[in-house]
Structure 1
């Protein structure tokens, strides 16, 4: 269950799974990640819990299905190993636990949903952050195209779309998704913890990716890209 709840379910699979099975796997994982803790805390799952559940479902499922339908099956794992950007197994497990734990803590940390199901400023921020998260993630995958995940070994550095703003917009989307979830529940301690954990984990992935890109395309060519796109995750910040 932790492998699915790490929210990298489509990136780290070792076998091809049908779209229908993907829906069931993701729905089951998100049920335990979102609906179960919120249901235990508040006694119901209508409104906010179901909304957040479908936001996560849409965020992770739709781009994965679109990519597979557009570009076909993933490349064999033997070929993809050299392009793996995953940190150590221990770090992946630790991050998965951090994600699950933070979502459960957020469910019990925030006030009753009666006080959060409104359009006060935290809800507006949550909505705004979630919209940005989905936009970055979907457009990031769109411009990454056939080089996404294990579909094909990269043949060029993608410098279009959101990659003109930040070098890793998809990871930024994941970080903002988690932040929007915590904002929606007014769970600010969980927000801080999960943001720090996500930044640390995705920074490690980004470092590995950038090192491999330097080896593949040459330091000078990648240096030009880094000069054009200075920021890794957030414009003017990092």
Structure 2
């Protein structure tokens, strides 16, 4: 029996063939191949001490998501900040990149130009935008015309498009109509800042909301609503918010 086993092993060794080890299984899916698009991807740059944005907001050609650039505001200092958010049709944030916080401006922008860390973050955000464009064919969203039927000069609450689309802020709701048809109604109560005092003897701050902008890509059944807030010298306005409303 032992001799037989030795002979069998010798035969394998002398045959000149051997089995190759199996390749390890990948733990993740391969990245999709790059797709050549007719338009460039959205892009983040830097000019005159500020972020320079191109192609944002943008919407996937199939209407599955929107990409927005969020500025949270910085009160009296006015330092720039930026966050890229990817929101799906249900307005859920499915991806994001915090490019800069205002509190980090002096550290990350020495001499008014991005330092190595901020440059890396900008490159990372641009890589995300390029990947999203390759996979979703991002379309630049064009602004609708803002209107203020009450002539308050500061608080536009409706926006209209050439195709009869109308978007209205009827606090606390966004209502989208075309003609006599209501396409979508979204409750925005959770978006509103809570009134609060800036000091013990101050009056409570209230920051009424209004439409900062509404953008849409032709043929895609969603709008990107930029909700803005009014403020005063004592009650600085919160940063703008972006929300996806789809139908």
Q: Answer whether TM exceeds 0.5 for this pair.
A: no
TM-score (norm 2): 0.23
Higher-strand-fraction structure: 2
TM-score (norm 1): 0.24
